[in-house]
């Protein structure tokens, strides 16, 4: 199974991705996670990446595509199946992804688009907390940890992403509307797009997706 998860920031892509990855045993490639790991280092590249993420701006296409290319071409075996989360985000990235996949002899099965309402997005993003160790996603009211600020699974410390604040969310939403949303058309034209209701609970979306995959057996060919 080779899929892309699309949707605005706060649509719940990360939470859904965690369930899909465990269930279908496919690789989960989150470009946001890769970039955050990179900026935890001290390097000129880390400083450059930070200068974009901090203000909710996109890092340049060439840089992010190089990272995804490395992962898909050398870092893992795409034929085992993967889920891209946070990539592509621009028309150029969507075209680059097709080229990378063509090079590895494969293509996408599906683009899952989480259509989500704006007021929910702001609530989800400002209440989101992430485990520093295992990156599990919590929410202060919708999905709080059993012990405040401690991850239920690995006991790591929870934190709020530096870009998860109302001001940055506005920029990220504007970028999504202008730059990322138009690529939905690209995938619609290629008959790859499947839109789901991102306002639903993650577990409901996951169950619906499992059913969708079961009804579309071509996903099992990989």
Q: Which residues bind ligand AMP (CB under 6 A)?
A: 9, 31-32, 35, 52-53, 56-59, 64, 86-87, 89, 93, 163, 172
Tell me the closest approach of the beta carbon of residue 208 to ligand AMP, in angstroms. 22
Count CB-CB contacts under 10 A for residue 139. 17
Location of structure tokens 């839109």: 195
Separation of alpha carbons 100 and 216, rounded Å: 25
Tell me, yes or no, if 128 is annotated catalytic.
yes
Tell me, yes or no, if 89 is annotated catalytic.
yes
Tell me the closest approach of the beta carbon of residue 55 to ligand AMP, in angstroms. 8
Among candidate residues 21, 36, 71, 89, the one labeled active-site is 89
Contact between residue 160 and residue 137 where contact means Cβ atoms under 8 Å apart: no
Coil, strand or helix at 154: coil
The helix, strand and coil proportions of the chain, stated in percent and rounded to the nearest 5, come to: 50, 15, 35
57 versus 142: smaller Cβ distance to ligand AMP: 57
Tell me, yes or no, if 172 is annotated catalytic.
yes
Among candidate residues 21, 36, 71, 172, the one labeled active-site is 172
Separation of alpha carbons 112 and 194, rounded Å: 5
Tell me, yes or no, if 135 is annotated catalytic.
no
Tell me, yes or no, if 161 is annotated catalytic.
yes
Among candidate residues 13, 36, 71, 124, the one labeled active-site is 13
Tell me the closest approach of the beta carbon of residue 147 to ligand AMP, in angstroms. 25
Separation of alpha carbons 103 and 25, rounded Å: 23
Tell me the closest approach of the beta carbon of residue 218 to ligand AMP, in angstroms. 26
Separation of alpha carbons 177 and 36, rounded Å: 23
181 versus 210: smaller Cβ distance to ligand AMP: 181
Q: Which residues are catalytic?
A: 13, 89, 128, 161, 172
């Amino acid at each position: 199974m080779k899929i892309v998860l699309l949707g605005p920031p706060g649509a719940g892509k990360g939470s859904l991705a965690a369930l899909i990855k465990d269930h279908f045993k496919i690789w989960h490639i989150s470009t946001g996670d890769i970039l955050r790991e990179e900026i935890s280092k001290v390097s000129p590249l880390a400083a450059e990446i930070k200068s974009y993420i901090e203000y909710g701006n996109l890092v340049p296409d060439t840089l992010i595509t190089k990272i995804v290319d490395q992962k898909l071409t050398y870092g893992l075996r795409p034929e085992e199946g993967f889920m891209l989360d946070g990539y592509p985000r621009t028309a150029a990235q969507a075209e680059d992804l097709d080229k990378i996949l063509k090079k590895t002899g494969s293509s996408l099965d599906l683009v899952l688009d989480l259509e989500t309402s704006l007021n929910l997005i702001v609530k989800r993003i400002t209440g989101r907390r992430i485990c520093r160790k295992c990156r599990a996603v919590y929410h202060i009211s919708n999905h709080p940890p059993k012990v405040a600020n401690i991850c239920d699974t690995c006991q790591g410390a929870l934190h709020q992403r530096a870009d998860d604040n109302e001001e940055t969310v506005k920029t990220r939403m504007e970028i999504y509307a202008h730059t990322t949303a138009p690529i939905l058309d690209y995938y619609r034209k290629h008959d790859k797009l499947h839109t789901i209701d991102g306002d639903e609970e993650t577990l409901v979306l996951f169950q619906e997706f499992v059913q969708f995959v079961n009804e579309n057996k071509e996903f099992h060919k990989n």
